[in-house]
Amino acid sequence: MLNDLMLLSIPKKLIQLVGVTMAGSRATVRVGNQYTHTFPITNGVRQGDALSSIIFDLVLEAIIWKLNNTGHIGTKSIQIFAYANDVAILSRNKNALKDALGNIESAARERGLIINENKTKYMEVTRTVVNGNHLQCREYEFEHVKELSYLGSQLNQTNSTNYEIQARIISRNRCYYSCGMLMKSRALNRSLKLKIHKTLIRP
């Protein structure tokens, strides 16, 4: 984990401070009203640690950076996109996809991270809808789907935006009608209603 921080050029002083805060960490588990004996934490960070989400993102960034740091978008056969713990792998062919997925899985396993098979989906983007098979990669089998949601956007096999536009309109209408009483209220002035529209309805 600390080596990954060095790979990302995090200042050495900060890496040493992270190492000091995690050194000698111990924990206990509460079961009902009883506590277990304390045990040392030799892997990762303490549960609920303020650093845990930041370090997770940095470690995942290091894994992807190692596999995705050559070439550019026009020449690569593989594109890897990540936001927090959501990772999308785009490939021009199935074999390259399996290789990239296998490399990520191996690097993640070395750091104690495991792919969630149930939440990982596989989709082929073509001009026509196809009924493909599930993707088999090592001991994993990923479900083949015709559409999925990634970072709030609706993606589908034919790369059509119609469903995405319709989903956004429906979402906007639901939000608008849930705020209907506020928007019609005479107790709120126009500027406050505009603020509600910009912060709640529009997003």
Per-residue pLDDT tens over the stretch 49-76: 778 888 888 888 888 887 766 666 666 7
Q: Which residues pair with 39 in a beta bridge?
A: 27
| 45/180: higher pLDDT | 180
Number of other CB atoms surrounding residue 60 within 10 Å:
20
Q: Which residues pair with 34 in a beta bridge?
A: 31
- The 3-state DSSP class for residue 78 equals strand
- 188 pLDDT more than 80: yes
Q: What share of the chain is helix, strand, coil (3-state, %, to 5)?
A: 40, 20, 40
The reported pLDDT for the residue numbered 179 is: 87
The reported pLDDT for the residue numbered 69 is: 60
Identify the CA nearest to 87 among candidates 109, 116, 111.
116
Average of per-residue pLDDT values in the chain: 83
- 128 pLDDT more than 80: no
Cα separation, 16 vs 19, in Å, equals 5
